[in-house]
Amino acid sequence: MLAFMESWYSVLQEKGREPIFEKPENMHNKEANKKGLLCVTIPYAVFNCRKPKITGLP
């Protein structure tokens, strides 16, 4: 199991966990067994923003 999965499991009630996680977990296990590893990429974006100075206002 991936390290972050435990915290994801804790968000859901026990009764509803398995149907949600079973299919992706099986897919990951199948892929890892086929290739000998599991490569997980996590897309993200970073925004560097600044509030412009407004001149001419009281």
Q: Give the type of residue at 54.
A: I
Residue 2: closest CA among 45, 43, 39: 39
Q: pLDDT tens digit string along 15-48?
A: 777 777 788 888 889 999 999 988 878 889 999 9
Q: Looking at residue 30, what is its pLDDT? A: 93
Q: Looking at residue 2, what is its pLDDT? A: 62
- What distance in Å separates the CA atoms of residue 29 and residue 7, rounded to the nearest whole number? 19
Supply the pTM of this predicted model: 0.46
